[in-house]
Amino acid sequence: MQSVPLTRFLAARGLASRRRAADLVRAGRVRVGGAVVTEPGRRVAPEADDVQLDGRPLPARPPPPRTLALYKPRGYVCSTRGQSARTVYALLPEGDARLVPAGRLDKDSEGLLILSGDGELVNRLTHPRYGHAKTYRVTVSGAVDDRALAALRAPLTIDGYRTRPAEAVVRGAGDKPGRTVLEFVLREGRNQQVRRLCRRAGLTVHRLVRTAVGNYTLKGLKPGQWREVTGRR
């Protein structure tokens, strides 16, 4: 009978992330076969071993995966470890590190971040072959003329990969003189793609907000707020 690490078993039952599960084991809160276990690397047989947390049997099946829509504020990083920066997981319920971001936003960017425990959904939202549109509202300064727009819409090579052309249109004047609001739609999400396009066009980015990922939007959310969403829209 195949055995698995105790921390993986606890995480698979939806009780905690593997890191948090290790803390539970070290704290003496987990019993295997009636005996307290304090070694996170202990292996167990899921179909045979009696594993309990705080004296209670584990749930037979993990709960369905959660999916959250978060308005990521500026200054936060999309990582479980923020180091000197703040991490978006501090904004989630119980700091849930089991949720995986479907596409990241850099520290200076803000807006919609979809996080899910559903690996298939994360893959569908991030893999270019599915073509889910990602929409950004970007405030820039500089000359937004025909030449700049052509540069914004042209393919770009990032890490040896040639991107698909981006959609870029002018949406109006910015909040300060000399600034312009642009809207970008990407069918893929390469590392800092929008910022790189603006830099190539000679534009300075002052604010970058992702407003939508596929059919998911920021509707009803303020910076730092999240809501639970359902369905693979």
Could you tell me if 213 and 120 lie in one domain? yes
Is 49 one of the annotated active-site residues of the chain? Answer: no
pLDDT for 129 equals: 81
The residue type at 193: Q
pLDDT for 58 equals: 84
Residues of the chain short of pLDDT 50, as ranges, are 232-233
pTM score of the predicted model: 0.74
109 belongs to a structural domain: yes
In contact, 211 and 217? CB cutoff 8 Å: yes
Q: Catalytic: which of 106, 118, 146, 159?
A: 106
In contact, 180 and 170? CB cutoff 8 Å: yes
The residues with which 228 forms a beta bridge, in sequence order, are 68
Domain that holds residue 11: 4-57
What single string gives the DSSP state of each residue in 83-102?
A: TTSEEGGGGSGGG-TT-EES
Could you tell me if 149 and 96 lie in one domain? yes
Instruction: State how many domains the chain has.
Output: 2
pLDDT for 19 equals: 81
Secondary structure element (H or E) that encloses residue 62, with its range: none
pLDDT for 233 equals: 45
| Strands 110-116 vs 204-213: parallel, antiparallel or unpaired | parallel
